[in-house]
Amino acid sequence: MAKVLKVADRRRCIGCLSCRQACARLRGEYSIANSAIEVKTSGGYTGEFVINICRGCEEPACMEACKFGALTKRTGGGVVFHKDKCTKCGACGVACAVNAIRFDEDGYPIICTHCGYCTKYCPHRCITTKEVL
Amino acid sequence: MLARDYINVLYIDLEKQEYRYDQRKDLVKYLGGTGLAAKLLDENIKPELDPLDPAQPMIYAIGPLSFVMPVCTKAVATFYSPHTKEYGESHAGGRFAMAMRFAGIDAIVVTGKSAHPQYLLIDDGVQFRDARAMWGLSVEETGKILRQTTHGSGVRSSIRIGRSGENLVSYAGVNVDTYRHFGRLGLGAVMGSKNLKAIVVIGNNTVDIPQELKVKYRKVYDKIYDRVLNTDLMKKYHELGTPVNVIPLNEMHSLPSFNLQKNKIDFAEDISGEKFAEDNLVRKVACAGCPIGCIHIGQVRREFDSGYEYETINVSYDHELIFALGTFLGIKSTDEILELIDVVESEGLDAISTGVVLGWATEAYKRGYVSLEETLVPFEFGIVQNYIAAVKYISTRKNKFYEDLGKGVVHAAKVYGGSDFACHLGGNEMAGYHTGYGNVVGFAVGSRHSHLDNGGYSIDQSKPKEEDIVKKVYDEELERNILTSLVICLFARKVYTRDIVIEALEAVGINMTNEELTQFAKDIQKLKYQIKAKLGYSLDSIKIPERFFQTKTLNGVLNSEKAHEMVNEYKKMIEDLMNE
């Protein structure tokens, strides 16, 4: 069974960033700058939080935009990233309609693998993985 | 110092409009937070000059565990306090520590004064930006503007002053992001004296976890995360939050009310943590790196015009605010307390000092020490509108009386009389507990005159033997020197026992033994007292106002002579430490 990451309830988010930290740890970094999941305030703490994640498209626009074969279809949704083929052109990020692809300081796209590690650290079950297929 | 062998200090000179980074290996032994900030203050302070002289430094520091371990969320500021005229140290949560961490800065030292109002944008370097159009704006409005004019959403933090800081009110604070503060001892006035409206830090650098620590770091992080979230150790901070204290303290006859004329109120249930949660709580939010989410946000809807015209106020509340802007002033409803908090937030004042100052002003007015010509509003316990007006008057220095109020209760009582009911301890306005000697003596002798220096109010609640209190207060402050140097939120003090602290440090590559930590705590305590001595401070100066001995505590009516003897006992312990 393949899994994809889902936002279950954005409004419960407290902005602790534990999910971003979890993703960073998996990537071997302390900093959340390169986390594949992004949580930020909209209008400061008085407003609500925004959670930007890869939505696991079945027809990924980012993949269509990539002319170099660096993104291929992932079973269950989303894409698999092949760094060796990436030319850092940035077209995938432009194509993503939900703003889920950001770039690291070297210019490579940060692509969510839908591993679900971040969900284990959400204190309010805002994010979850859903089994597909 | 995370993943490197030096402390990166960012020096900013507002006078010359210059900055430089200094990689200092010699500072590693001060770890961070309290230790590091105290050391940098000691290096840069000008004891011979006024606390608000442009040459005075303003220091911000984070610690080795900041953001990388759960609930290590705070940044520490040190400065020459314009309020107590001695050692100033204040702590704040929010996202500032995270932003500093990933801007690659362990400490910031700001000196000088800008020629006109400015704000600083710190990313890979420092930009000195014009803030003339922001001068006079509220903390909230300034924040909204800065969010539009700077980049880094999600990894950004901004700290700002309100009008009270601009106007040098001695207990003006610095607001961090939204709802968090460097509240106590007047850091806002220091910032105002530098013509500095705000500092924005963008924390978008990458920091790799060293290969050899990857496994260990994840393991220890998980262990602590589990203790934070899946045990009862921090439960109270999440559920009702600190306002859970209102009812028990009231039952214990330990809830300072009506300018400490009373220790118990008959409307506790109307302003309890439970009542706030049921009627006003709309959500909880967290500091970056803490899954607890103790920031309780209460909402109140206010009709500003007829014809169903409403505005909504969202402010965070805590026990200390319910005390200072509630019980201490006799305010009897959650809505009114939230409205008063909102004004204090906008003006950027320290909530505790503001409430206690207004409590004194009310009693002074009722007893004829000050007239209506001076107060402009007929202060009456329980009438919130007067207080809302007065907060603005303090912040804008409306007249001579409010200028005096803006220097704290010690100063105001010196000018108008009524020092016996000016509720300060060691020159700083009291916090929301009247539990016994632990609180009164502990607060008075604490090195920053905060209830969090040594948690004396908590020691009192464990019903200690009287002869043990001073030692407990002394030991607790030493232990907290470690926590606040790392920098661990004090709400997680039960999570971070010594063995956990040692493990957490190991997991980020710092090896310290239990003995070394004990020695470190003592060294930092000494350092703080060295700074105090330079500023002419002596524990002999402590005179606890009569009011503390008139109103009964959980541990009975306190005796002034005995309390001052305890201060003396503490002084001897400090002397012994200094001679070690």
Q: pLDDT digits over B307-333, tens only?
A: 999 999 999 999 999 999 999 999 999
For residue B215, CA distances in Å to A28, A30, A115, A121, B70 come to: 10, 13, 18, 17, 17
A14: closest chain B residue by CA: B285
For residue B304, give the 3-state DSSP assignment.
strand
Q: Do A18 and B293 touch (CB under 8 A)?
A: no
Same domain, B393 and B493: no
> For residues B512 and B503, what is the distance between their CA atoms, to the nearest angstrom?
9
Q: Do B206 and A34 touch (CB under 8 A)?
A: yes
Look at residues B155, B184, B202 and tell me which one is the last residue of a structural domain: B202
Kindly report the pTM of this predicted structure: 0.96
**Does B409 map to a domain?**
no
Rg over CA atoms, chain B: 22
pLDDT of residue B285: 95
Q: What is the ipTM of this complex?
A: 0.92
pLDDT of residue B416: 98
Tell me the CATH number for domain A2-125.
3.30.70.20
**Of A8, A35, A40, A25, nearest in space to B69 by CA:** A25
Same domain, B395 and B443: no
A39: closest chain B residue by CA: B154
**Does B214 map to a domain?**
no
List the domain range (segments joined by +) for residue B274: 236-403
Same domain, B167 and B41: yes
Chain segment B464-486, per-residue pLDDT in tens: 999 999 999 999 999 999 999 99
Flag whether pLDDT at A45 surpasses 80: no
**Of B266, B268, B257, B121, nearest in space to B198 by CA:** B121
Flag whether pLDDT at B3 surpasses 90: no
- Alpha-helical (H) ranges within B398-546 are 400-405, 409-416, 437-445, 456-461, 469-486, 498-507, 514-534
Same domain, B330 and B448: no
Average pLDDT over residues B281-286: 95
Flag whether pLDDT at B235 surpasses 90: no
Chain segment B165-222, per-residue pLDDT in tens: 999 999 999 999 999 999 999 999 999 999 999 999 999 999 999 999 999 999 999 9
Single-letter amino acid, residue B154: G
Q: Do A32 and B140 touch (CB under 8 A)?
A: no
**Does B345 map to a domain?**
yes
Q: How many Cα atoms occupy the beta-carbon half-sphere of B104 within 13 Å?
A: 16
Q: How many CB pairs under 8 A join A and B?
A: 94
User: How many domains in chain B?
Assistant: 3
Same domain, B198 and B300: no
> For residues B488 and B494, what is the distance between their CA atoms, to the nearest angstrom?
11
pLDDT of residue B321: 98
| Minimal Cβ distance to A44: which of B2, B101, B147 | B147
Q: Do A33 and B155 touch (CB under 8 A)?
A: yes
For β-strands B75-80 and A71-73, DSSP reports them as unpaired
Compute the 3-state secondary structure of chain A and give helix, strand, coil in percent, each to the nearest 5: 30, 25, 50
Own/partner pairs, B499-503, CB within 8 angstroms, 24+ separation = B500/B223, B500/B224, B500/B227, B503/B220, B503/B223
Same domain, B394 and B467: no
